[in-house]
């Protein structure tokens, strides 16, 4: 799990291996990740876009950029939260993810809310 606070926006992520969507013979390891975005600040902010950096254990990197998350660009007033789950596939049973969300405040200020690095691990690799 990872958690980081950037300008009042707290981003917490937890990941889970998805055996049912993985194929070891095809070197496809699927991981779900659940993100909670909480406005702990004093100003309303909207998530406009995302940037993910996904790395496998061999150093291969995928970058994903796009508008919003799961088809939404949530507006978070102070004290509000937004949670969603998505998933990714990498070629190794372990890897990492990190990134940022571009946020825009109700006053028009833009900033990058950091997504701290978190691990992607097939369960038997944890021991």
2-109 homologous superfamily: ApaG domain (2.60.40.1470)
Find how far residue 83's CA is from the centre of its chain: 11
Question: CB neighbours (10 Å) of residue 9?
Answer: 23
CA–CA distances in Å: residue 15 to residues 12, 18, 25, 60: 10, 10, 22, 19
Alpha-carbon distance of 120 to 103, in angstroms, equals 25
pLDDT of residue 125: 54
Tens-digit pLDDT profile for residues 81-118 = 999 999 999 999 999 999 999 999 999 999 999 999 99
Among 34, 1, 30, which residue's Cα sits nearest to residue 18?
Answer: 30
pLDDT of residue 127: 44
Q: Could you give phi then psi for residue 93, rounded to 5 degrees?
A: -75, 0
């Amino acid at each position: 799990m990872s958690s980081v606070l950037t300008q009042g926006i707290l981003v917490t992520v937890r990941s889970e291996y998805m055996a049912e969507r993985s194929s070891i013979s095809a070197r496809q390891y699927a991981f779900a990740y659940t993100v909670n975005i909480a406005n702990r600040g004093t100003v309303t902010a909207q998530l406009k876009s995302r940037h993910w950096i996904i790395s496998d254990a061999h150093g291969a990197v995928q970058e994903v950029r796009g508008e919003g998350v799961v088809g939404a660009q949530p507006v978070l007033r102070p004290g509000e939260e937004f949670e969603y789950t998505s998933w990714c596939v990498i070629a190794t049973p372990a890897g990492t993810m990190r990134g940022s969300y571009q946020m825009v405040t109700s006053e028009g200020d833009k900033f990058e809310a950091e997504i701290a690095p978190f691990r992607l691990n097939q369960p038997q690799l944890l021991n």
